[in-house]
Structure 1
């Protein structure tokens, strides 16, 4: 039996839409990008022509399109909740680019709107659907490390990547390193070990916009008081880092390229001088393709998802607490 086609509409002409939705949809059966909308319809037309999307217009065109089942929203986090709620009320499912929204309050609005409309809302933590991440979580929760002693994340983007003018440096648009990459660490922490407690945080602020953290060092506590330290940064060295290190009484784990596993992610567990586990991400597997494949499958069968907005609300609440601990306001 042929699967029902899932039509996708995109709000905004952000570059991430091509990598996260348009390219995967070209190779996946049963999904098709139908339309793209932007505040400026001319910009949407240009993007549609370049990407091979058949229809374009403004945001309302996408929300009212009869063939659009799922709306992908890669807008700034400060406006994402508004459009997500509108899409849900229009009878569409939504996939919000991470972070789910600007803060825990607006994230809750998305989850509640989905429940009220009888539709699904997802957050685009694409890395969670990659086989490498599934294996990483399996190892983290297997007991092979023994009793946990400490957890360390370093998600630092090379200093030359986020340049002046980038929306990630704009406080009005929900900018900041913890919003951009720190949220990944919070999401993975919650997936592996449950809800953490924020102990302290220290931020290096932008001279141009003191609401924006160029770097954040946060200390969290897991169950039984285990320390988890998260560094998020836009001012990393030339190589940057997407690393996780976990130390236990029996072994320690190191993982690289955690945010984007297809960029050569590696997992290594050692006990004294002995290598217990050593694995690499499978060549050719793409986290964005896995995410779209997963969302389409979930919409067809109605199964739970680790990307459900109701779960993502907790991540945004932790992000809020980190900003408060650093003396800043949530976005």
Structure 2
């Protein structure tokens, strides 16, 4: 508990806030934020405080007042607001990179417009509503020579990388099955939440599910071979008329080598009182010679555990690992020094380190590739198809003739 409190304090009040670099030959990266989103402070603004090469320079919002208040609260120099605010931010020559935390259904349009404006983009996940849109986004980024990253921030933290290193080491033998649950408690989100809006790319599989599917694919080092079953649970509310919105999704995936993966995601899980349980956020990988269980794989900086059960010679040994920085991760890493990170670094801070490294021509410790992002979205679509409710609607935005 003491270490948790200490980490929380350091997240919000970093022990070291290095001065921003002022080298004209290697200037800092100036970010613009599209939308005054609630995720922006933990995902970019807080991490930027401890990064010498990052300045959160501008924010745009449809509501001018909201944009001004957001900028004042977070000490952001430039503000754009109104119906043309997003485009004005993209047209600002001082902005080098865009953070796009807009609703899912707007990711495609505004990421494409950002790329057309010559900006690098860190785009929240899921990157778009369809795999074809994701492909087009990367095609344009590559054509323009720009960096585009889907913000699967948990992948940059040493905790999940340590869990994968245990599985890849062969210590436990081949993977036999994977079981993952990721839920939010009932009442955490109102019926009017964008996650329940089909036009904006809503649904549990799009929200919690994109993480869950990505984690299964990452830990197994494979893509599914088929969707065995997918059952969508609709949101039952008089205020919601969207029959294609999944409040929850239960899925079974077939992976190579006869491995089955089960996945349960729920945006409004009924409360469990005995024992008390507000949410679930864990993955268990069963292998021939033991198991790996990761608790809180998404936000491990707050708390997490990696439980390893090893069945050797008729006996079972158990250990619990907690990994907050790469010095403690025990992984093979030839791209960066193993002292990368601090125990209070959020997953987003590790992600920002990688993104800036990429922009500066350095080799990031890890990366989420084009192929990874396209495949993740394609399998989300496959799950929706199996569930009988179809993919989220494609964007109406059409790329101008080049």
TM-score tier (shorter): over 0.9
- Candidates 224, 234, 239, aligned match of 2:257: 224
What's the CA shift for 1:16? 0.3
Rounded Cα–Cα distance in structure 1 between residues aligned with 2:218 and 2:175: 15
Quick check: 1:206 aligned with 2:235? yes
**Equivalent residue for 2:56?**
33
**Equivalent residue for 2:18?**
none
Rounded Cα–Cα distance in structure 2 between residues aligned with 1:296 and 1:249: 40
Contact 2:354 2:367 in 1 (8 A): no
What's the CA shift for 1:39? 2.1
Q: Secondary structure at the residue paired with 2:306?
A: strand
**What does 1:294-305 align with in structure 2 at a 5 Å threshold?**
294-301=354-361, 303=363
Q: Secondary structure at the residue paired with 1:329?
A: coil
Quick check: 1:195 aligned with 2:234? no
- Candidates 175, 178, 189, aligned match of 2:202: 175
**Equivalent residue for 2:34?**
11
Quick check: 1:98 aligned with 2:125? yes
- Candidates 99, 116, 120, aligned match of 1:89: 116
Q: Secondary structure at the residue paired with 2:390?
A: coil
Rounded Cα–Cα distance in structure 1 between residues aligned with 2:213 and 2:389: 18
Aligned residues: 331
Contact 2:147 2:358 in 1 (8 A): no
Rounded Cα–Cα distance in structure 1 between residues aligned with 2:138 and 2:37: 24
Rounded Cα–Cα distance in structure 2 between residues aligned with 1:111 and 1:94: 11
Rounded Cα–Cα distance in structure 2 between residues aligned with 1:9 and 1:310: 26
What's the CA shift for 1:308? 3.5
Rounded Cα–Cα distance in structure 2 between residues aligned with 1:257 and 1:286: 13
Deviations 1:17-50 (A, max 9, x none): 1110111111211100110011233321221111
**Equivalent residue for 2:337?**
none
What's the CA shift for 1:310? 4.2
**Equivalent residue for 1:280?**
322
**Equivalent residue for 1:315?**
376
**Equivalent residue for 1:126?**
153
Higher Cα Rg, which structure: 2
Deviations 1:275-311 (A, max 9, x none): 3442124342311111111100111116475224443
Q: Secondary structure at the residue paired with 2:268?
A: strand
Contact 1:150 1:227 in 2 (8 A): yes
Quick check: 1:248 aligned with 2:248? no
What's the CA shift for 1:145? 2.0
**Equivalent residue for 2:309?**
270
Rounded Cα–Cα distance in structure 2 between residues aligned with 1:18 and 1:102: 24
What's the CA shift for 1:147? 2.0
Deviations 1:78-136 (A, max 9, x none): 11111101111111100111111112121112111111111111011111111111112
Moved more, 278-287 or 154-163: 278-287
Rounded Cα–Cα distance in structure 2 between residues aligned with 1:78 and 1:138: 35
What TM-score, normalized by structure 2, do the two folds share? 0.79
Instruction: Point out where structure 1 has 5 or more consecutive residues left out of the alignment.
Output: none
Contact 1:156 1:233 in 2 (8 A): yes
Rounded Cα–Cα distance in structure 2 between residues aligned with 1:12 and 1:191: 30
Q: Secondary structure at the residue paired with 1:179?
A: coil
Rounded Cα–Cα distance in structure 2 between residues aligned with 1:127 and 1:37: 26
Q: After the TM superposition, which parts of structure 1 deviate over 6 Å for at least 4 consecutive aligned residues?
A: none
Quick check: 1:75 aligned with 2:75? no
Contact 1:268 1:275 in 2 (8 A): no
CA RMSD of aligned residues (A): 1.7
Instruction: Point out where structure 2 has 5 or more consecutive residues left out of the alignment.
Output: 1-20, 272-276, 325-342, 393-402
